[in-house]
Amino acid sequence: MARAPLLRGGVLARRRLRYNERMQYTRLGRASVQVSRLCLGTMNFGTEADEPSSHAIMDRALERGLNFFDTADVYGGKFGEGLTESILGRWLALGGGRREKVVIATKVYGRMGEWPNEARLSALHVRRACEASLRRLRTDHIDLYQMHHVAEEASWDEIWQAFELLVQQGKVLYVGSSNFAGWQMARANEHAARRSFLGLVSEQSIYHLYNRTVELEVLPAASAYGMAVLPWSPLGQGLLAGVLGREQRGGRRAKEAVQKRILRHRAQLESYEALCDELGHAPAHVALAWLLANPAVTAPIVGPRSCEQLDSLLPALEVQLSQATLARLDAIWPGPGGPAPRAYAW
């Protein structure tokens, strides 16, 4: 794949300005840093997209005004190597203002080696993992350092002490969580407040039209604490991206796990794709627009495998869904009925 042109003067700079004017930005929760309403997920870098393709996607993302990139130390498909972070780091090292333009988010928790202290959230592993991520990313700081999962055996005093030190050293600016329950977010932030520490500014959760469990407690907790919500898998692993239409057109065969979900949700998918046809919008655009219409959502994380895929998702930012359409989507993909306990006890 041909590399996207570098971000420098002339025609490209004017094109970038135009696309930046179309891009939407918002605060990262109660932090004042501004991030694009779509976050570039890099989970496919090094697996579904090779390094030149990954670099081209990131160049295209900047050209289109995306300034928020998400990765993790465990991404890349090679145990313990941090391949995706390394790909991102080599791209940042190309210069041209790349590091200055991008808000980099990465994660800690996953197993990076066979020894006992090479995983989870001990102060020892958090420190070592951060240093390793900084080396791979070729930067002196991580903008958003996220706990990839909850480590229930670690006390919040130990966890916050480790993150406070990284912030004091200038190696981390903000701390976030991923895959936390609402009560765990609350507990983490209350412990941070007692230490006069900012605490969690974001939560990254699975959230899409047919998986709305986070509406019970995660979204209310995030709103109560001023936390950004970053939905991962916003298209339900492709299920909400027009999978039935691709079947009819003889497109690429869905993976077995997706085929099982298609079988289970076929009636809903037929209604959903018919509604999208009626609206005149691609199913992927409707799925993303539905998330963006929720004031609790900051930036869905999209994971393109090519520049063309990235370009195809950006029109979602311009889709406005009426209240009547939102109600029809609720009828097709019903949620839990609202936040807890209202959803089940009132």
Q: How many domains does the chain have?
A: 1
Residue 215 lies in a domain: yes
Dist. CA 84–CA 91, nearest whole Å: 11
Domain assignment present for 329: no
Report if residue 265 sits inside a domain: no
Encode pLDDT of 25-39 as tens digits: 999 999 999 999 999
Q: In 3D, which of 111, 119, 193, 205 has the Cα closest to residue 156?
A: 193
Is 339 within the bounds of a domain?
no
Residue 107 lies in a domain: yes
340 in a structural domain: no
Beta bridge partners of 107: 146
The per-residue pLDDT for 20 is: 58
Rounded Cα distance, 113 and 111, in Å: 6
Q: Counting every residue, how long is the chain?
A: 346
Whether 210 is a known active-site residue: answer no
Amino acid, res. 17: L
In a domain, 191, yes or no: yes
Q: What is the CATH number of the domain that holds 166?
A: 3.20.20.100
Nearest-5° Cα angle at 14, 13 to 18: 115
Angle at 12 between CA 9 and CA 18, to 5 degrees: 110
Position 127 in a domain: yes
Looking up tokens 């870098």 gives: 45
Domain that holds residue 205: 10-241+284-322
Closest CA to 281 of 245, 253, 234: 245
pLDDT at 3: 37
Write down the pTM of the prediction: 0.92
Catalytic entry in 25, 75, 210, 225: 75
Distance CA 168, CA 38 (A): 29
pLDDT < 70 positions in the chain: 1-21, 249-254
